[in-house]
Amino acid sequence: MGIPLVASERHDHGGRPLEILHYPDRSLILLGGIPGAGKSTLLNRLYGLTGSETDTVRTGGGVRVVDSQQSRNRLTPWLRRLPYPAWRWVVHVLHYLRVATALRSGDPVIVHETGTRRIVRVLLGTYCRLVGVPVHLVLIDADPWEARRGQIARGRMVTSRSFRTHERRWRRLIGACTRGPGRAMPGARSLVVLDRRRAGRLGGIRFGGSGAPVPQGPALRVLTCPGLYGAALLAPL
């Protein structure tokens, strides 16, 4: 079952109606995409997140937004003398503890997550099933060249090796998406795949009511240029 994109009363500067995603009240939205795909840009536009937050953000509408950058920012004053790879795992542990805490609140939860690690999708999907929270996927399927430029623009770049790993895993995830949300993430109720342009036209993510799900076929967009994966010439960092 899919969640429809519907026109809203909000319009862009050209007068065109923006699109809104609707979900049930108690839901977890996994906002996924390779580094630089545009996840942080979307959260900044919809919720005013700047990337400098140190705690889970609770919006005025009662939505909890959890980003691993929040955990990294919280830990940096104590661990900054160490190389980040040595304490990355601590960031991940704190991040997923915060996700679990947000889910227990009963509020809608949006998790900023690449989505490329299958073990994370399995564990998160399993936990949500145990606590009775439905999972919905919103994936930004960015061309790897665009994503790399996005990293440069925001001033936060992952290493070339890490980026290629994310690319390979993302390609597998997108392939699974064409077979339905449950194949992409265990227990997922819906799947929306957006390119960067369509993500830029997303005017909001709203919660309330049943979410009016409609039947949905394959992913809205699958990259038609898979040759770009692994062929990107990236300078070592």
pLDDT in tens, 97-156: 999 999 999 999 999 999 999 999 999 999 999 999 999 999 999 988 888 888 887 777
pLDDT at 3 over 60: no
Which fold, 5-215?
A: Rossmann fold (3.40.50)
The mean per-residue pLDDT over the stretch 59-77 comes to: 96
Extents of the domains making up the chain: 5-215
**Digit-coded pLDDT (tens) for 179-212:** 888 889 998 998 888 888 888 888 999 998 654 4
Percent of the chain with pLDDT over 90: 53
β-pairing, 202-207 vs 17-23, is parallel
Q: Taking the model in full, what pTM does it have?
A: 0.84
Please give the Cα distance from 82 to 147 (Å, whole number): 28
Q: Which of 59, 58, 87 is nearest to 74 (CA)?
A: 87
Q: Is the pLDDT of residue 13 over 70?
A: no
